[in-house]
Amino acid sequence: MTEGNGLPEHSAAQNEAPAGSSAEEKPEENGDGRVSVPGDEVTDPGAEKEFVHPEGGWGWVVMLSAMWCNGSVFGVQNAFGILFLSLLQEFGSEKDEDLRFKTAWVGSLSMGMIFFCSPIVSVFTDLLGCRVTAVGGAAVGLVGLLASSFVTSLGFMYFTYGIVFACGCSFAYQPSLVILGHYFKKRLGLVNGIVTAGSSLFTITLPFILSWLLEKVGRQHTMRVLCILMFVLILAGFTYKPLMPAKTKKRTGSRCPRMGQLFNVNIWKSLGYRIWAFGVPAALYGYYVPYIHLMKHVEERFGKDANKEVLLMCIGITSGVGRLIFGRVADYVHGVNKVYLQVSSFLVIGVMSMMIPLCDIFGGLIAVCLLMGLFDGCFICIMAPIAFELVGPDDVSQAIGFLLGLMSVPMTAGPPIAGFLRDRLESYDLAFYLAGIPPMVGGAVLCLIPWVEARRRRQEAQAQERDVSQKMLDSEKAQGDDDPRSGESVL
């Protein structure tokens, strides 16, 4: 099969034209560049429907490449707490009350930009395809990370690491999810679970590697070593060979529909989606705080010799387990009730954030991180199923894209606020207490979604019943008007 252009069916139609058409019947060219043969309209749509997902083959290579993408992008982001300590030592004194606030902006800006660019990336993916978008994004990420290794001031680090590197990661990340649908349908859930588990695998291993590299070669050479991940990501992007059926190509055949799909207004007509799209970001103001500030909190509470990398490893392990477990559990939960799984995840994450300052022994922190990682996996793995339930399969891509864009604000603002509180109060305790409030408030807001969706379905059912009753009355009235004599004979 050729690369997503439907040429096998097109060629077959051309070869059959001389035998099944007269001299007067000539092929005509449609507006999308495809040739249609008179009398062949019935068979051509059937040929488009014959696209079958390979469910394997080269798709396994694509899956491994997407897994590497998830791992290298979010593994580095989640391990920023290690780089955070190095930046504090390099760009000033750890006793500087404003330094933690300024330094935290580097990691939070980077994470926020990955989500903020998501709606824009969807346009480029439609225009240029998954392969070009992913390769170009990985190349930009490589340039940004390499430039960050030469930076000697925190201000330039905002641009090279927080913007250039993060934008490149965003452009490389989103196509890695889209391309999976070209190769898998029946196994798509399993494949998504494996791919997203890549970030957990990297989150487990990178903190130890980064700590060793920072100790041996310093911050600048460590970031140059990390460039290897981006170089491999460029090579991985070349494996994204699209297998898009002709029907999908026709739907995005002109530039105007693509831009129209970016600002899809249909998703905002759903009250349930509107609650979800604003409730989830509201819950995330404290979500990223532990990833950045937990390492420094452990140093202050348990000393610099504490094995703080173990905590990120615990989060990474149980997050991967949670994605597999709750992804399977969600298959047995009916309809929008899947929202309750997300609500439970936010409640647990909020409570665990508040538990961090209360842990006076290191083992208690390990238990907190294990639970936090487990329900973090729950939150991530059921985002797509909830979007399907709220807006349907036709609009789900834009629904997720806009949600990720809205998530960029709290993901960016939360950690610097926590750093500001630490600098003013000389303790992370209040920062972690406050970080636990937004997830619980956001989770409470999400509880409205099942009630709203149930009310909407009742209203739709009542409207359908009224329509049926009106049609029956109109039909009876029409029958009476058609045969007036029968009524007279009876009288």
Task: Give the C-alpha separation, 348 to 357, whole Å.
Answer: 16
Segment among 64-68, 134-138, 176-180, 222-226 with least mean pLDDT: 176-180
Tens of pLDDT, residues 170-182: 899 878 877 877 7
Q: Give residue limits of the domains in the chain.
A: 55-246, 263-465
Q: Are 175 and 130 spatial neighbours (Cβ–Cβ below 8 Å)?
A: yes
Please give the pLDDT value at position 233. Answer: 92
Task: Give the C-alpha separation, 140 to 226, whole Å.
Answer: 14
Tens of pLDDT, residues 446-456: 999 989 888 88
Tens of pLDDT, residues 336-393: 788 898 999 999 999 998 998 888 888 888 999 999 989 988 888 777 778 777 876 5
Task: Give the C-alpha separation, 25 to 41, whole Å.
Answer: 14
DSSP category for residue 318: H
Mean pLDDT of 14-37: 41
Is residue 165 over pLDDT 90?
yes
Within 8 A by CB and 6+ apart from 458, the residues are: none
Residue 16 — pLDDT band, cuts 50, 70, 90? very low
Burial grade of 133 (CB within 10 A; 0-12, 13-18, 19 or more): buried
Q: For residue 356, what are its two tokens?
A: 């961090």
What is the sign, positive or negative, of the torsion defined by CA atoms of 147, 401, 72, 209?
positive
| DSSP-assigned beta bridge partners for residue 29 | 35
Please give the pLDDT value at position 97. Answer: 60
3-state SS string over 183-214?
HCCCCHHHHHHHHHHHHHHHHHHHHHHHHHHH
Residue 54 main-chain phi, psi, to 5 deg? -60, -30
Q: Pick from 301, 320, 304: which is nearest to 312 by CA?
A: 320
Instruction: Please give the share of the chain, as a percent, with pLDDT higher than 90.
Output: 12
Please give the pLDDT value at position 21. Answer: 42
Q: Pick from 387, 311, 309, 312: which is nearest to 342 by CA?
A: 387
Residue 18 — pLDDT band, cuts 50, 70, 90? very low
| DSSP-assigned beta bridge partners for residue 35 | 29
Residue 232 — pLDDT band, cuts 50, 70, 90? very high
* ∠ CA 80-83-84, rounded to 5°: 80
Please give the pLDDT value at position 344. Answer: 92
CATH topology of domain 55-246: Growth Hormone; Chain: A; (1.20.1250)
Is residue 142 over pLDDT 90?
yes
Mean pLDDT of the residues in the chain: 76
| Of residues 330 and 257, more confidently modeled | 330
Q: For residue 367, what are its two tokens?
A: 């238990």
The CATH architecture to which 263-465 belongs is Up-down Bundle (1.20)
Please give the pLDDT value at position 78. Answer: 76
Write the DSSP assignment of 325-392 as a string of letters: HHHHHHTTS-GGGGHHHHHHHHHHHHHHHHHGGG--SHHHHHHHHHHHHHHHHHHHHTHHHHHHHHH-
What is the sign, positive or negative, of the torsion defined by CA atoms of 441, 442, 444, 445?
positive
Domains 55-246 and 263-465 share a fold: yes
Q: What is the pTM of this model?
A: 0.67
Tens of pLDDT, residues 66-106: 889 988 888 888 778 788 778 877 776 656 667 777 787 78
Please give the pLDDT value at position 51. Answer: 57
Segment among 8-22, 70-84, 308-322 with least mean pLDDT: 8-22
